[in-house]
Structure 1
Amino acid sequence: MAIDRSIIGQETGRASLLMTRSRLRDFAVATGQRDPIYTDLEAAKKAGHPDLPVPPTFLFGIGMEDPDSAGFLDRLGVDLRFVLHGEQQFSYRQVAHAGDDLTVVSTVSDIYDKRGGRLEFLVQDSVVTNQHDAIVAEMRSVLVVQHPDPAAVAGEESNR
């Protein structure tokens, strides 16, 4: 089933998250950040930061803090088994730090298809702002929705 293109321009999610040192340290360790500015407050301050900086790709996860982050896909009738993360882009305006309260607002900016409609691409643009309403970053995410042959899906489900 094709994704309803009338959702282009609609907000798909909004989430806010306070940047805490422990959360930022955990993310830095989990993602293998080797620069001590991400885990050591003294190193961050020596490098000119007021606190631990937010690691570069951390912003992507803020939107997932919304318990309904994939709910809009479900409401569109998209089967999450056939969704892939296709692409992610970041455009940073300023560095965020521990203590900042960041908000991510996402909207659908485009939907297009390939392979005769068997693959649909849903483009989401997100804006990250801080507690002062200053833009921290802009992000673009592309989700790929596969529309497999219905007979193949039915056969797969009967084999369970």
Structure 2
Amino acid sequence: MALKIDIQGMVWRYPEPYIVGHEQIRQYANAVKAYDPTSHSLEAAKAAGHDALIAPPTFMSIFAVMIQRHFFQHNDVGFETLQIVQVDQKFKFHRPIKAGDALIGTLYVLSVDERFGADIVTTRNTLVDQHDELVMESFTTLMGHEGDNSISAGWDPKTGQVTRKPVVHDESADGAENGEAAAQLDEPESIRAAD
């Protein structure tokens, strides 16, 4: 197991509250094509019984990514975060996220296990508001594998994409004269039909 099992039971609190603003909600709702009027119009939100704009349910993913990234930047868990894949996630909303919320995020490492050569981590993530009331909780399962090139990712400068192939660095390629190694991806072999 490449993963450090002593992280089980760990609690990680994001250092600052995430302040939810009206314009953030509107911009996010437009970006994800969430056209519910309670996410765009304060009058519509009030008519629906709310005192502020209501964020679409997936809005919390902005803060969730910040919390998870912060956790992995500050904790050596035993493998590279690039080799971590999210395999499951569940959400439980206790109330909608709304403009004016000052959300505090906490990550709890519930379990650490090894299955089929992969390390499995399950976390519980909570968001509480400025009144210490639970707004949302999620349960996330992450899988990581150390040292297997089949799941390596590499940056392809030609396409600007991250690929799931190992990157081979060739120092003799263009750019090497400046001390920079040029990244090249292995090309797949051509298959020709027999005559």
- TM-score tier by shorter-chain length is 0.7 to 0.9
1:65 equivalent in structure 2: 66
The answer for unaligned runs of 5 or more in structure 1 is none
Q: Is the 8 A contact 1:44 1:50 kept in 2?
A: yes
Pairing 1:112-131 to 2, within 5 Å after superposition:
112-115=113-116, 117=117, 119-131=118-130
Higher RCO, Cα 8 Å, sep 6+: 1
Aligned twin of 2:83: 82
Structure 1's consecutive aligned runs of 4 or more residues displaced over 4 angstroms after TM superposition are 150-153, 157-160
1:156 aligned residue (157, 162, 166)? 166
The match for 2:144 is 145
- Runs (5+) with no aligned partner, structure 2: 153-164, 170-182, 184-195
Q: How many residues align?
A: 156
Q: Whose helix fraction is larger, Structure 1's or Structure 2's? A: 1
Is 1:36 matched with 2:37?
yes
- Cα offset for 1:157? 5.0
Give percent identity, aligned residues only: 24
TM-score, scaled to structure 1: 0.83
Q: Is the 8 A contact 2:111 2:122 kept in 1?
A: yes
- Specify whether residues 95 and 149 from structure 1 end up closer, same or farther in structure 2 by C-alpha distance, changes over 3 A only: closer
CA spacing shift, 1:151–1:135, aligned 2, 3 Å: closer
CA RMSD of aligned residues (A): 2.5
The one-character-per-residue Cα deviations of 1:39-89 (angstroms, maximum 9, x if unpaired) are 12121111111110122122232133356243146x123212211122221
Specify the code of the residue in structure 1 equivalent to 2:166: E
Q: Secondary structure at the match of 2:23?
A: helix
Query: Taking structure 1 as reference, are residues 37 and 151 closer, same or farther at Cα in structure 2, changes over 3 Å only?
Result: closer
Larger radius of gyration: 2
SS of the residue aligned with 2:12?
A: strand
